[in-house]
Chain A
């Protein structure tokens, strides 16, 4: 019936005068991969520590499987946790590290052996059981940490930037792996990261966090394509920001950006003359030769000079120095046209690809 596993109700945590977590409410269901995305200092790790029981919230409640665990110490909560710096027990072998949670629960020897075999197989650690942590590579250490977090079948698994210490190649591989474990185990993962690619790759839902508050909680595609706040628009994806006062002309709203009118969707409750930030994702913008018709719905068209091309494989980033003195970045497939540096090009994009918000008050 109710598949709610984790519930936070108005959780607040203050450190001195800093409110690290500010009246956060959240519900996570079974089989959900939930990412907490935010810059460092946004309170995401504190939130994870509150769920784990390592911090006691000043206000609010934490419920796991419907049970109020707010006052329970970490060892009575039945959650697993994986840390950024692995934190394996250096004096215990891989097998002893992995088996640790089961021993603490007093599981039978036979049960321990069986679960250990299962965990080592799941994480492809077979044959490494007798090694010590310092004899393993970074990726192997991380998998041991995951095995230790998963072996006791916790109600949910908390992951605190678990891949941040791995190199890029390994991280890509592990992103897919971690997602696989979550699907196989059918328990919710709460995944803290400042890396939006990780969040977008693995999760079902994303909460974007800033200054201890949720800016937006939504399915990942929603967060990516329909940012609800100025912060989310700037933080998720690679966007161009165009700022200026809002003006109305011919029934449409425009932002006067460095003197160039940009057609935008009017943000709610913003009057003419107010400062507005308009965000357009780099891949929503396109290039066209001067005079050439752009794609349909090209409401905006600005002329400039192609300053540089950053080749990225299947795509490339094009840096355009505009005639109004500003610069835009456009992501396109790397094969489009045969553009050269110094060439005159137009940047075009539809209104639908933009998101506009009242600028932060200075």
Chain B
């Protein structure tokens, strides 16, 4: 006898099938999201001694983080960098995504994949690659010096170089998010706006922007959160004075071995990111997003 879907249906009933389908997702969230978060929160209230975590409840880690000016400085620097990087990605990504969605025709998928192509190599290689473009012995500056010109100094081991590097790493997220949003956008609405007296720029502000705001917010979050936590790029491109919150955080789990302090930094990072995500989400008005749960 065969076990068709109908047999399964009879055996499980609707609740059973619901559970069966919900379990994998729920398991993932518990094991890979809630688990780690709870553990770093717990660790952040412990202390470390000679590379060992000791369950000795205290808030010293947080006191250090909020009193020692260097940590606050790192946090501020990372935050400002992440904000600027997100804005730069936003300004850069909109025209790119718009072009692909509007004029990409059958090459759309190919174009989006091309943007994601650097992901095929891994982060170290990508950063080394961009160093090869911007660094003192990079293509840009070598070429300039070859023609007897001054090298561009602000892209050599500076905060700006870090920013450019981080933006380069995460800009594909933003382009993809906006592109996916524009895929569902009815460009005919722009014709309607124009017939009704809207100039192209006004039509963008009135129609395109609000109807793609959710996609844009998703893009901003996807860029902001990893930019804020970024640790490798500053190390490669930022030079000696550009340590970020993320790079200092990763030190706690490596060289210095202060896991508890590192956990506390992780909690702070998580909190800041959550606040930003929450604030961004507050700007979304589902009624005003054109999101009806239906096709149009």
The residues of A with any CB-CB pair to B shorter than 8 Å are 52-54, 73-75, 77-81, 83, 85, 87, 89-91, 100-101, 104-105, 132, 134, 148, 152
Besides the known contacts A100-B196, A104-B196, A152-B196, 4 further A-B residue pairs in the complex with CB atoms under 8 A apart:
A74-B191, A83-B188, A91-B290, A104-B197
Complexed CA–CA distance, A85 and B192 (Å): 11
Complexed CA–CA distance, A77 and B196 (Å): 9
B150 on the A face (CB < 8 A): no
Q: Are A104 and B202 in contact (CB under 8 A)?
A: yes
Complexed CA–CA distance, A79 and B194 (Å): 10
| B107 nearest CB across to chain A (Å) | 19
Complexed CA–CA distance, A53 and B191 (Å): 10
Give the residue name and chain of the B residue nearest to A93 (CB). Answer: B287
Q: Are A132 and B287 in contact (CB under 8 A)?
A: yes
Q: Are A80 and B195 in contact (CB under 8 A)?
A: yes
Q: Which secondary structure characterizes the binding site on chain A? A: loop
Q: Which 5 A-B pairs have the closest CB atoms?
A: A104-B197, A90-B290, A101-B196, A134-B292, A91-B290
| A77 nearest CB across to chain B (Å) | 8
| A20 nearest CB across to chain B (Å) | 17
B294 on the A face (CB < 8 A): yes
Complexed CA–CA distance, A79 and B192 (Å): 11
Q: Are A79 and B296 in contact (CB under 8 A)?
A: no
Q: Which of B192, B199, B294 has the most chain A CB within a 10 Å cutoff?
A: B192
Give the residue name and chain of the B residue nearest to A79 (CB). Answer: B195
7 residue pairs from A and B, CB less than 8 Å apart? A54-B191, A75-B198, A77-B195, A83-B192, A89-B206, A104-B196, A134-B294
The residues of B with any CB-CB pair to A shorter than 8 Å are 186, 188-189, 191-199, 202, 206-207, 210-211, 287-290, 292, 294, 296
Q: Which secondary structure characterizes the binding site on chain B? A: helix
Count of A-B contacts judged by CB separation below 8 Å: 66
| A154 nearest CB across to chain B (Å) | 9
When distances are taken between beta carbons in the complex, the residues of chain B under 8 Å from A134 are 292, 294, 296
Given contacts A74-B191, A90-B211, A91-B211, A148 and B196 within 8 Å (CB-CB): yes
When distances are taken between beta carbons in the complex, the residues of chain B under 8 Å from A53 are 194-195
Q: Are A73 and B192 in contact (CB under 8 A)?
A: no
When distances are taken between beta carbons in the complex, the residues of chain B under 8 Å from A104 are 193, 196-198, 202
When distances are taken between beta carbons in the complex, the residues of chain A under 8 Å from B206 are 89, 100
Complexed CA–CA distance, A73 and B186 (Å): 20
Complexed CA–CA distance, A134 and B289 (Å): 12
Q: Are B196 and A90 in contact (CB under 8 A)?
A: no
| B216 nearest CB across to chain A (Å) | 14
Complexed CA–CA distance, A80 and B178 (Å): 31
| A103 nearest CB across to chain B (Å) | 8
Q: Are B292 and A87 in contact (CB under 8 A)?
A: no
Q: Are A87 and B189 in contact (CB under 8 A)?
A: yes
Complexed CA–CA distance, A78 and B290 (Å): 27
Complexed CA–CA distance, A75 and B201 (Å): 12
Given contacts A83-B188, A104-B202, A134-B294, A91 and B195 within 8 Å (CB-CB): no
Q: Which of A85, A90, A104 has the most chain B CB within a 10 Å cutoff?
A: A90
When distances are taken between beta carbons in the complex, the residues of chain A under 8 Å from B296 are 90, 134
When distances are taken between beta carbons in the complex, the residues of chain B under 8 Å from A74 are 191, 194-195
Q: Are A75 and B210 in contact (CB under 8 A)?
A: no
Q: Are A89 and B195 in contact (CB under 8 A)?
A: no
Give the residue name and chain of the A residue nearest to B196 (CB). Answer: A101
Given contacts A90-B290, A132-B287, A134-B294, A54 and B195 within 8 Å (CB-CB): yes
Q: Which of A52, A75, A81 has the most chain B CB within a 10 Å cutoff?
A: A75
Complexed CA–CA distance, A285 and B211 (Å): 57
Q: Which of A74, A79, A105 has the most chain B CB within a 10 Å cutoff?
A: A74
| A56 nearest CB across to chain B (Å) | 13
Q: Are B189 and A89 in contact (CB under 8 A)?
A: yes
Complexed CA–CA distance, A83 and B202 (Å): 21
